Structure 1
């Protein structure tokens, strides 16, 4: 009879997976060194997660913010601009900072044909674009293509955050974030 899962231990392992990949990278991820880092065995990692890829996706799921909640209640362009500008700081300095380089690596790995991360990456992008599209529709229902604008904002922000992680040029990247936000979010309010 298989050993039942210790859910507290599983949660600790997932936290350690994010820390390990943030420090060592995804490209050369091997279960044995990861297991050593986590104080367990590769066999136990398979017991808890099934595959290396499933383990990584589970770890990322623990780090995903509640995206619909981040964009709920936004009823003006000014609030959306403020929230997006603040999200740059959250993603580079705040609670999600340790997991963001891991997410960026997974998104890159999802572009490889047959990637086990494609479904996770596709769903992550869809959640963001859907939430942003809803916000843009609330702000200005006359916006010609809110989904395209949402895609521009989400992909642009992701690229700028990746630029910051690579270059650490906070001033230049933050100016670019502000420019992207100003150009992509309509400034007029719909009539009341």
Structure 2
């Protein structure tokens, strides 16, 4: 008879998975070193999650913020621009830094044909684009293409965050994030 899942232990493992990937990367992830890091065995990880991919997706799901809430209270373009530029700082220095580093690795892995991460990555992008499109439509009902603007903003910010982690060029990236927000979010 299979051993019942210890849900508290499962949650602890998921948190550790995110920290491990942020420190060691996704590309060469192997269950045995991950299990050692987590103080368990690869057999127990399979017991809890089934596959490495299911474990990674479950770990990412624990980190997903309420995206709709991030934009729900925005009523004007200036507040949206401020929130978008602040998200850059929050995601490079704040508590979301670790989970976003992992998410960016998963998004990269999702570009490989038949990637097990493709459905998760597609959904993550869709949720962001939908929430931001809704905010743009609400604050600028005459916006010619809020979905394209949302796509530009989300993809641009994601690229700038990645650029920051690679180059560390805070001044250039800070100017670019403000330029992106100013150009993509119309004036009131």
User: What's the TM-score once normalised by structure 2's chain length?
Assistant: 0.98
Find the aligned partners of 1:168 and 1:161 in 2 and give their Cα distance: 10
Structure 1 residue 34: Cα displacement = 0.3
Structure 1 residue 160: Cα displacement = 0.5
Alignment of 1:33-182 (within 5 A): 33-182=33-182
Deviating beyond 4 angstroms after TM superposition, the runs of 4 or more aligned structure 1 residues are: none
Structure 1 residue 86: Cα displacement = 1.1
Find the aligned partners of 1:178 and 1:137 in 2 and give their Cα distance: 21
Q: Deviations over 1:18-37 (max 9, x none)?
A: 11111111010000010001
Find the aligned partners of 2:170 and 2:61 in 1 and give their Cα distance: 27
Aligned counterpart, 1:24: 24
RMSD, aligned α-carbons: 0.7
Unaligned residue ranges in structure 2 (runs of 5+): none
Unaligned residue ranges in structure 1 (runs of 5+): none
User: What's the TM-score once normalised by structure 1's chain length?
Assistant: 0.96
Find the aligned partners of 1:96 and 1:2 in 2 and give their Cα distance: 36
Length, aligned pairs only: 188
Structure 1 residue 142: Cα displacement = 0.6
Structure 1 residue 64: Cα displacement = 1.0
